[in-house]
Structure 1
Amino acid sequence: MEFKEVVSALSALAQETRLRVFRLLVEAGPEGLPATEIADRLGVRHNLMSTHLTILANAGLTTARREGRRVFHSIEFENTRSLLSFLVEDCCNGCPEKCASLLDEILPASACA
């Protein structure tokens, strides 16, 4: 992941509602949640939630799929893994063998794939 992408992702998450949406979608797993349910659970107006979801999607953190009349949003797990990898890339003074399991503990490769 490049610096520009990391800055975009972290900027998207640096807002309380979007961070709450992101955490809710992580909890929901790969099935995701309909936009209306996300808005209702977090007590946010639907039109405002749409804006937040667009910002998260533009940052590469979420993806959307249409099922009938509903739009489901879910975490883009590979991009999330890349973001976390970038953040801990030089962990332990660049000695990955000292902290190799850190990312696997945070988001195992098999989780929600």
Structure 2
Amino acid sequence: MENESAIATLGALAQGTRLDVFRTLVRHEPEGLPAGDVARALGVPQNTMSAHLGILARAGLVRAERQGRTIRYRADLDALRALMLFLVTDCCAGNAALCAPLVAALSPCCGKDPA
């Protein structure tokens, strides 16, 4: 990931509703949610939600999949992974002991034991 991509991605998340939308979609992976469900869950008008989803999509953070008349949105976890790796590349000047707490906090994912 280049600086410009990281800035665009972080910029898309630097607004409260969009951050809430992205976190909601992450919680609903891998099935995603229709835009209307996201809007209702967050108490946001549907036209406003469409604008927020458009910004997140242009930043590469969400993907839209048409299912009949419904558009289902999913968080792009590969984009999230790329952003996180960009942020921690060369973490702590290569001192693994300093990075260990960060790695431990992220593993296993979501606080769930790997099965």
- If the TM-score is normalised by the length of the shorter chain, which range does it land in? 0.7 to 0.9
RMSD: 2.1
- TM-score, normalised to structure 1's length? 0.86
User: 1:82–1:34: structure 2 CA closer, same or farther, 3 Å change rule?
Assistant: same
Cα deviation 1:61-113 (Å, max 9, x = unaligned): 11010111110001111111000001111212233x433672882685xxxxx
Matched residue, 1:105: 106
Dislocated runs of 4+, deviation >2 Å: 97-101
Cα deviation 1:30-64 (Å, max 9, x = unaligned): 21100000001101010110000000010011101
Matched residue, 1:40: 40
Matched residue, 2:73: 73
| Structure 1: gaps (5+ residues) | 109-113
Instruction: Please say which structure displays the higher CA radius of gyration.
Output: 2
User: 1:55–1:73: structure 2 CA closer, same or farther, 3 Å change rule?
Assistant: same
| Structure 2: gaps (5+ residues) | 110-115
Identity between Structure 1 and Structure 2 (%): 48
Number of residues paired by the alignment? 108
User: 1:76–1:42: structure 2 CA closer, same or farther, 3 Å change rule?
Assistant: same
